[in-house]
Amino acid sequence: MTETLISRSVRRLFAGGGAVGLVLLALPAAQAQEAAQRPIARVEVTGSNIRRAEAETASSVSTVNRADIERSGKSTVSELLQTLAVDNQGSVPTNFGNGFAAGAAGISLRGLGTASTLVLLNGRRMAPYGLADDGQKVFTDLNVIPTDAVDRIEILKDGASAIYGSDAIAGVVNIILRRSFTGTTVRGLLGITEKWDGEEQNFAVTHGVGDPDKDGYNMLLNFEFKRLNDLPLRERASREHIGRIDLRPWGYSAQENLGGTGAIPGANASGSAINGNVRNPLTNNYHNRGNLDAATTGFTRLFPGAACSNFTSHPQGDPGGGCLIDAPLVYNQIQPQQENYSIFGRGTYRFTPEIEAYGELNLYSSKTKSSSTPSTVNANVGYPGGPVSNAAVQLGAGHPDNPYFGTAARLRYLAGDVGPRESDIDGFFTRLLAGAKGTVFDWDYDTSLLFSRSTVKNDRSGFLQRDVAFALLDPDDAVNVASALATSPAYAALPPGSFWRIAESAGLNDPAVYAALSPKINSHARTKIIQGDFKATREFGALAGGPIGFATGLEWRREETELEPTTGTERGNVIGLGYSAYSGARNVFGIYAEALAPVLPELELTAALRYDDYTDVGDNWAPKAGLKWTPSKQFALRGTFARGFRAPSAAENGVGGLAAFSTAADPLRCGLGVQAACSAGNIAVITSPNPDLQPERSKSYNIGLIWDPLPRASVSIDFWKIKRKNEINQELTDVAIANGSVARDPSTAEPGVAGDPGAITAVLASYVNSAQTDVRGIDLDARYTLRLPGGWGNLLFDGKLTYIDEWVRREQDGSERDFAGTHGNCDVTNCVGTPDYRANLRAAWDRGDWRVSLNANYRGPIDNVLFKGDPDGCASVYADGRPAPRNCELASFTTFDLVVRWKPQPAWEVFGTVENLFDKIAPLDPLTYGAQAYNPLDYAGAVGRTLSLGARYTF
């Protein structure tokens, strides 16, 4: 039997070339011919409400089914989706435990951000995660999806606002769970790294009763548990640069903020040392407290116990005399500790052959525990009231640990005695759906009511209260003491004049000092969606190619979002912790229609139109049109045009604000000769919501071809472009700095430099419809199945590649930046970058009870510049001034995963995976702050080789 586009489409939808396809291949010729003559099932494909026989529509849809998921070796949906070639900059990895949206995972199609990728569950929305990524981008948490309940995942790779409304600018990820199941399946999996750490435990039970065709009902229930132990960076100290901030062995300089925590890079500048660096009140030069050369430092007291060697064995050598440690390596994690529970239930009951009722229940509980470096005492913060500079924190004249005893002196201290900063995140997700579907007067209808809610609580410890820290370090300052007495009952209970003893004297502190200095703080977040919808579809008349398909529908939903600020951040009182809070609610009404016209047997036209009305931002019309031409059974051309939109989130146009951190150079001070200002340093960015924001709007174009050059072989190529305007962004940090929208600390001005205004403490910005983004590229999808002679089974070769040719952001002033293949856009990606090539390759062998797959995941090279043609040149340099790394380019990165599955008995299946088979180390990346010295995209190369073994029993 020669496979045609139609049979291939249905095969790919339901089998992905997997188990069902192999069963058909194994059928005797007569049975295969009989199967081919049966009516082809009509299905609804993501991106359309019209049921059809072909999975390949005018739109580009990639299907990942259960066979593909099993072949991938990934144990969760989030892990699978974030390795796909279509995922790019702006995605949220689960292992980013210290980010704004810690504890969740999100996907970003086309690199346009999680907020522009709509994630659906069984074709309907879910409540977004309670915490917005970067405090701005609201997204759906992929972790809530129960892996064993997944039937398939459909990824629509062009705009879909005409069908689904807001948020589908970059595309749609529709996760389709099992609609019915009979029997019981128990699955267990244990995983561990080659270093015997980072243990994973994964357990699932799925039970179903009732045959929908015979009994008229089906009930299924799925329970899953997953635990992932934390993986400290210090356990990867043997993996070269992984996790290190001290990159001197790789050619970097301590004066480039890459020489270890605690360095003294220049005049009137200092990192925070574990034993304290203190500024000479007369010269403004910093010296380490362990320095015993009073003639050089001007110390009036010496502290032999503060010797750097008493705190660390880390190699020293800072030219400025600081005490160096590698704080991220000591305190941070590659992955946080996580524990998740989920329940999914679905029931269907057929009242008559034409009427069926259904209901769904999703419950998901997650606990995430992450840690990071101890707080410094001088990190600047911001809140909606303005920037808060902590640069002036000092040891009082009478502080017993002050080497300039008798005179107050500024302090730069890493509070190792307080301990690491820790976050305990508890999340709970609920989704309830009740609906009915059937047929009346030749119309197929589907209607439902949906309730979905996400709550997140974040308890933090190890963070310093500004007023208490300032008062305990300098009790002689009446303003500091008065502020602490007014706001902290725990401080008021301390004896008057209490000190916070630091470094070698920390053991003298009463526990009550730490209770006042670093109390537990927390925040709460809630999101909610209530939705009602109705849709109907039928066929009319007949054209040369068949009947006309038509669908129409309407929906109403209520969206509510609230994030309370973390305790103390509402007044800028938590050192080093930004402010994030927002609140908003709105009602949305939408109505839409869609038509499919097979005007010729080989030509079909599609069109859709949707109208949405938002109570906060007004209305929007979103059209879409498509064409598919099939001149032969082996070849088809397709194309679509669509308009899309994204309504601003409550974080962007509600009530609240954001004070976060970024990195930037200071061209003004750099031009005056302050060398330290020429390199990117940490700054606070204070961003205010804007109730006048308009929705983002987009145009997307897709032209592609589908070709079956050989039996059981298929190739699809799609050329796509997305133009997004009215883009909602924080004002670019470097543009705001150039425009002078900054706050500075004059006391940090370098002596002898005329006109030095002092270091930037904060950049003042707001959310604005400021930019337009043009993204274009190519998707390539190829698959070939080869039947081996002599009963040796089948070989499957599968490849997916996404190439981003252009990722240009244009500002209102006409300036533009192309981020494709570079380390930008740092304002929205933690400087993860925008690789122009990503690919997934697979070679699989199936024979009888054995299935073996070798998967390759490729990330292309990244130029270490902030954007193409950056006049500042390479974003990092070696100590000798050469561009870094490796001529200013991050090397490409490829990992291989081996997956083996074996069914020794019909009821049993045993499976195992070796991820990062060749134990490849992630390339050194000095710029990203989403991970330490490696790119988060290369997470597998930080962890190293990982092993897992599991089994499934069905009865």
Q: What is the DSSP string of 114-176?
A: GGGEEEEETTB--PPPSS-BTTTB----GGGS-GGGEEEEEEE-S--HHHH-TT-SSEEEEEE
Is residue 242 classed as helix, strand or coil in its secondary structure? coil
Calpha distance 873→887 (Å, rounded): 11
Calpha distance 240→933 (Å, rounded): 10
pLDDT of residue 529: 97
Joined tokens for residue 833: 């970058």
The pLDDT confidence band at residue 7, using thresholds 50, 70 and 90, is very low
Q: Which of 49-58, 369-378, 751-760 has the lowest mean pLDDT?
A: 49-58
Is residue 650 within 8 A of residue 131, CB to CB? The reply is no
Is residue 842 within 8 A of residue 799, CB to CB? The reply is yes
Average pLDDT over residues 262-267: 89
875-909 per-position pLDDT tens digit: 988 988 899 998 899 999 999 999 999 999 999 99
Task: Pick the more confident residue, 867 or 831.
Answer: 867
Is residue 132 within 8 A of residue 563, CB to CB? The reply is yes
pLDDT of residue 257: 65
Nearby residues of 711 by Cβ (< 8 Å), 6 or more positions away? 2, 3
Calpha distance 207→873 (Å, rounded): 59
Joined tokens for residue 324: 């160096």
Preceding peptide of 509 cis, ω within 30°: no
Q: Quick check: 30 pLDDT over 70?
A: no
Q: Which amino acid is at 510?
A: D
- pTM of this structure: 0.88
Average pLDDT over residues 431-452: 96
Is residue 158 within 8 A of residue 164, CB to CB? The reply is no
53-110 per-position pLDDT tens digit: 655 688 888 888 888 888 888 888 888 888 888 887 778 877 776 677 778 888 889 9
Q: How far is CA 365 from CA 145, 177, 223, 226, 339, in A?
A: 11, 19, 12, 11, 8
Calpha distance 529→125 (Å, rounded): 8
pLDDT of residue 319: 87
How many other CB atoms are there within 10 angstroms of residue 240's CB atom? 15
Quick one: 732 exposed, middle or buried, by C-beta within 10 A (0-12, 13-18, 19+)?
buried
Calpha distance 389→392 (Å, rounded): 7
Q: Which of 274-283, 343-352, 426-435, 688-697 has the lowest mean pLDDT?
A: 688-697
The DSSP code for 734 is H
Is residue 69 classed as helix, strand or coil in its secondary structure? helix
Q: What is the DSSP string of 534-600?
A: EEEEEEEEEETTEEEEEEEEEEEEEEEEEEPPPTTGGGT-BTT---EEEEEEEEEEEEEEEEEEEEE
For the chain, the distance separating the N- and C-terminal CA atoms, rounded to the nearest angstrom, is 35
Q: Quick check: 311 pLDDT over 90?
A: yes
Is residue 324 within 8 A of residue 315, CB to CB? The reply is yes
pLDDT of residue 6: 35
Joined tokens for residue 521: 């703080």
Q: Quick check: 338 pLDDT over 70?
A: yes
Quick one: 588 exposed, middle or buried, by C-beta within 10 A (0-12, 13-18, 19+)?
buried
Joined tokens for residue 293: 């050369």
CA triple 823-924-674, angle to 5 deg? 65
Calpha distance 308→306 (Å, rounded): 6
Residues, the chain, total?
Answer: 955
Joined tokens for residue 929: 């702050």
Reported as type and span, the H/E element at residue 618 is strand 618-632
Q: Quick check: 39 pLDDT over 90?
A: no
CA-based nearest residue to 920, from 891, 948, 899, 900: 891
CA-based nearest residue to 82, from 99, 105, 61, 62: 105
Calpha distance 502→289 (Å, rounded): 11
Reported as type and span, the H/E element at residue 67 is helix 66-72
pLDDT of residue 610: 97
Joined tokens for residue 815: 């300036």
Q: Quick check: 738 pLDDT over 90?
A: no
Q: How confident is the prediction for the chain on average, in pLDDT?
A: 89
pLDDT of residue 21: 34
Joined tokens for residue 239: 């993996």
Calpha distance 883→876 (Å, rounded): 6
Q: Which of 439-443, 512-516, 523-527, 662-666 has the lowest mean pLDDT?
A: 662-666
Is residue 582 within 8 A of residue 134, CB to CB? The reply is no
pLDDT of residue 22: 31
755-789 per-position pLDDT tens digit: 999 988 778 777 888 889 999 999 999 999 999 99
150-159 per-position pLDDT tens digit: 999 999 998 8
Calpha distance 517→375 (Å, rounded): 11
Q: How far is CA 681 from CA 271, 415, 954, in A?
A: 11, 20, 57
659-690 per-position pLDDT tens digit: 876 778 899 999 998 888 887 777 778 888 88
Calpha distance 410→396 (Å, rounded): 9
Is residue 736 within 8 A of residue 827, CB to CB? The reply is no
**Strand ranges in 830-917 using DSSP code E only, listed in sequence order:** 837-847, 850-859, 862-863, 876-877, 883-884, 889-890, 893-905, 908-915
Average pLDDT over residues 549-565: 95
Percent of the chain residues topping a pLDDT of 70 = 93
The interaxial angle of helices 478-487 and 466-473, nearest 10 deg, is 140
Average pLDDT over residues 815-823: 92
Reported as type and span, the H/E element at residue 763 is strand 759-787
Calpha distance 582→589 (Å, rounded): 23
